[in-house]
Amino acid sequence: MTPPVALITGSAHRLGARTARLLHDRGWNLIIHYRSREGQALDLAETMNQQRQSSAVALQADLSQMPDVKRLGDLAVAHWGRLDALVNNASVFYPTPTPDVTGNDWDTIMHTNLKAPFFLLQACLPALKKHTGSVVNLIDIYSERPLPEHPLYCASKAGLAALTRAWARDLAPEVRVNGVSPGAILWPEGEAAIDTEYQNSILDKTPLRRAGTPDDIAGTIVFLLMDAPFITGQILTVDGGRSLNI
């Protein structure tokens, strides 16, 4: 019998990769999605396949392009002929001060962070229903308490939070849908990087006085997929208590 199968978007590195590894350790087969990190995705799939033969595959798709989104969903379902979980982890994050926002910024962030999860679930829905599947969306504490100069990112995550609750109602009882809202886990990279002083100011507002780890998020996602059969429509905040003080 084919083990349960999960598609995790943006799973070549960071939180997505840790979640993929943890699910693989629990006996799942993995669809590792990537946009540009081909080498990391292929290396991760190869490592998994060495541990357990034919248990992982890497698929490329640009989630800002709708034909790619549908192709990813179709290929993910077809590879093992089933899909038991979808984790919408991939997202775009960079500053978008309102006076400077362009139509391209809007399309890039909204398509990747909000539109793609919607239509990817649509493509995967028959398979998820057939196998009483589960969906976990990666939200953000900034969906409720906006981060300055990031209105598009915050709006996209607030929209994904709303979809999480709407889907939980609409897709029950066949499919459960939940969200995970991380706090300070891994600091942003590239143009979205923040300086040490700001990092420390965030940790000062966190009751546990430290950043979390990728395992904190991956473990919560796996819990919702595997160990929470009576939980749906919930968004679990994993932030060390920071949302109490933000």
Average pLDDT, the chain: 92
Classified as helix, coil or strand, 174 is coil
The distance from CA 51 to its chain's CA centroid, rounded to whole angstroms, is: 24
| Residue pair 9/63 in contact by the 8 Å Cβ criterion | yes
Q: Residue 188 to residues 36, 57, 102: CA-CA distances in angstroms?
A: 17, 27, 22
Query: Quick one: pLDDT at residue 230?
Result: 98
Question: Does 47 map to a domain?
Answer: yes
Q: Which domain CATH number covers 53?
A: 3.40.50.720
Question: Does 42 map to a domain?
Answer: yes
From the candidates 34, 94, 142, 153, give the one annotated as an active-site residue: 153
58-111 pLDDT, tens per residue?
999 999 999 999 999 999 999 999 999 999 999 999 999 999 999 999 999 999
211: confidence class by pLDDT, cuts 50, 70, 90: confident
Query: Quick one: pLDDT at residue 163?
Result: 98
Query: Quick one: pLDDT at residue 244?
Result: 76
169-191 pLDDT, tens per residue?
999 999 999 999 987 665 555 55
pLDDT > 70: what percent of the chain?
A: 91
Query: Quick one: pLDDT at residue 207?
Result: 74
Question: Does 226 map to a domain?
Answer: yes
Question: Does 244 map to a domain?
Answer: no
103-148 pLDDT, tens per residue?
999 999 999 999 999 999 999 999 999 999 999 999 998 898 898 9
Residue 53 tokens, joined? 């033969």
User: Cα angle vertex 218, ends 215, 220, to 5°?
Assistant: 105
Does residue 192 register a pLDDT over 70? no
Question: Does 246 map to a domain?
Answer: no
pLDDT > 90: what percent of the chain?
A: 79
Question: Does 127 map to a domain?
Answer: yes
Question: Does 133 map to a domain?
Answer: yes
User: Cα angle vertex 55, ends 87, 84, to 5°?
Assistant: 35
Range of the domain at 147: 5-239
Question: Does 245 map to a domain?
Answer: no
Domain count, the chain: 1
The question of whether 198 is a catalytic residue gets the answer no
Read off the pTM: 0.93
Query: Quick one: pLDDT at residue 75?
Result: 98
